[in-house]
Amino acid sequence: MLSKSVFFVTCLLIANGAMGQTGQLEITAPCARAPPGHAENGAAYLTIVSPTADRLTAASSPVAKKVELHTMSMEGGVMRMRPLAAIDIPAGQTVTLSPGGMHIMLLGLTQSLREGQSFPLTLSFDHAGPHQVTVAIEKAGAMGPGGQATEAPPMHMHH
């Protein structure tokens, strides 16, 4: 009888250890800036941490006709934006999508993004599957994840 109890307790400890190791993907600080006037496009920013390696492969939202993963870079003094097929999320590392770097582009806005409001955004991961977050809309000069201003210099989109 004692050996069955020891076996049961050992199984529980192993299960608890495995659960503690797997953890859960965390998405924090989802925000967007209120674009000026009647802008056709917007951007969303956030921070992702996963205990296991994963990839962000897509995003969608009812506030935009199309949502793409993008990156920005400086080339010859000009800020250039390009779409990304996916964003790698290394195990245990923080990946920040912020102005001037990787971000989520909201193309063909179906409604105005007004400061103080929010909207749903669904992120699709290879392993973690879909995750829906609520994106807070901040003023145009608000600080994004990582403490950078969400104002960006003029850019040119190249696909």
**38 vs 65: CA distance, rounded Å:** 15
Residue 92 lies in a domain: yes
Q: With 50 as the cut, is the pLDDT of residue 159 above it?
A: no
What is the per-residue DSSP string for 86-100? Answer: -EEE-TT-EEEE-TT
Determine the pLDDT at residue 32.
Answer: 97
CATH number at 43 reads 2.60.40.1890
Residue 48 lies in a domain: yes
The contacts of residue 8 (CB under 8 Å, 6+ apart) are none
Number of domains in the chain: 1
Determine the pLDDT at residue 142.
Answer: 64
Confidence of residue 71 (pLDDT cuts 50, 70, 90): very high
Averaged pLDDT for residues 52-60: 98
Residue 154 lies in a domain: no
Residue 42 lies in a domain: yes
Determine the pLDDT at residue 86.
Answer: 98
Q: Six-digit token pair at 57?
A: 């492969």
E-state strands within the chain: 26-33, 41-49, 54-60, 64-75, 78-84, 87-89, 94-97, 103-109, 118-125, 129-138, 155-157
More confident: 74 or 91: 91
Residue 6 lies in a domain: no
Determine the pLDDT at residue 143.
Answer: 56
Residue 72 lies in a domain: yes
Determine the pLDDT at residue 75.
Answer: 84
Residue 11 lies in a domain: no
Phi, psi of 148 (to 5 degrees): -95, 145
Residue 8 lies in a domain: no
Dihedral sign, Cα of residue 17, residue 22, residue 24, residue 25: positive
Per the structure, the complete domain to which residue 137 belongs is given by 23-145
